[in-house]
Amino acid sequence: MKTIIPPIKSQGIKTKLVPWIMNIAPKVSGRWIEPFLGTGVVAFNARYQQAILGDTNPHIIKFYKGVQDGTINVPLMKQYLQKEGKLLSKAENDGYEHYLKVRSRFNSGEFSSYDFIFLSRAGFNGMMRFGSKGNWNIPFCKKPNRFAQAYVTKILNQLSSVSQVIQAEPDWTFHNRSFSEIIPLATENDIIYCDPPYYGRHVDYYNGWTEKDEELLFHLLSETKAKFILSTWHHNDWRENEMIGKFWKKFNIITKDHFYHNGGRVENRKSVVEALVCNFETTGITTHNHGLKEKENIKQLEFQWQEVFSHC
Ligand SMILES: C[S@@+](CC[C@H](N)C(=O)[O-])C[C@H]1O[C@@H](n2cnc3c(N)ncnc32)[C@H](O)[C@@H]1O
| pLDDT at 86 > cutoff 50 | yes
pTM assigned to the model: 0.90
Alpha helices for 166-291 (secondary structure H) = 179-182, 211-223, 242-246
Per the CB < 8 A criterion, the answer to whether 181 and 175 are in contact is: yes
Per the CB < 8 A criterion, the answer to whether 158 and 5 are in contact is: yes
User: What residue's CA is closest to ligand 1, atom 22?
Assistant: 55
**Cβ of 244 below 6 Å from ligand 1:** no
**Burial of residue 208 (number of CB atoms within 10 Å: 0-12, 13-18, 19+):** exposed
Let me know if domain 15-55+177-310 sits in CATH 3.40.50.150.
yes
| pLDDT at 287 > cutoff 80 | no
Residue-wise pLDDT tens digits, 97-110: 999 999 999 999 99
**Cβ of 13 below 6 Å from ligand 1:** yes
Among 17, 56, 231, say which to mutate for ligand 1: greatest number of ligand atoms within 8 Å of CB. Answer: 56
**Cβ of 35 below 6 Å from ligand 1:** yes
CB count within 10 Å of CB 298 equals: 10
Residue type, 127: M
CA 202 / ligand 1 centre spacing (Å): 12
Determine the Cα–Cα distance for residues 139 and 155; give it in Å rounded to an integer.
Answer: 20
pLDDT confidence band for 188 (50 / 70 / 90): very high
| pLDDT at 303 > cutoff 50 | no
User: What residue's CA is closest to ligand 1, atom 3?
Assistant: 38
Alpha helices for the chain (secondary structure H) = 18-24, 41-46, 58-69, 74-90, 96-105, 113-122, 149-165, 179-182, 211-223, 242-246, 292-310
Among 55, 158, 270, say which to mutate for ligand 1: greatest number of ligand atoms within 8 Å of CB. Answer: 55
User: What residue's CA is closest to ligand 1, atom 16?
Assistant: 207
| Second-level CATH architecture of 69-160 | Orthogonal Bundle (1.10)
* Ligand 1 atom nearest to CA at 14: 8
Q: Any idea where the domains of the chain sit in the sequence?
A: 15-55+177-310, 69-160
| pLDDT at 208 > cutoff 50 | yes
**Cβ of 38 below 6 Å from ligand 1:** yes
Task: Tell me whether the CATH fold assigned to 15-55+177-310 matches the one assigned to 69-160.
Answer: no
Q: What is the pLDDT of residue 261?
A: 61
Residue-wise pLDDT tens digits, 107-157: 999 999 999 999 999 999 999 999 988 999 999 999 999 999 999 999 999
Q: What is the pLDDT of residue 271?
A: 82
Q: What is the mean pLDDT of the chain?
A: 89
**Cβ of 232 below 6 Å from ligand 1:** no
Determine the Cα–Cα distance for residues 246 and 154; give it in Å rounded to an integer.
Answer: 43
Among 36, 59, 127, 174, say which to mutate for ligand 1: greatest number of ligand atoms within 8 Å of CB. Answer: 36
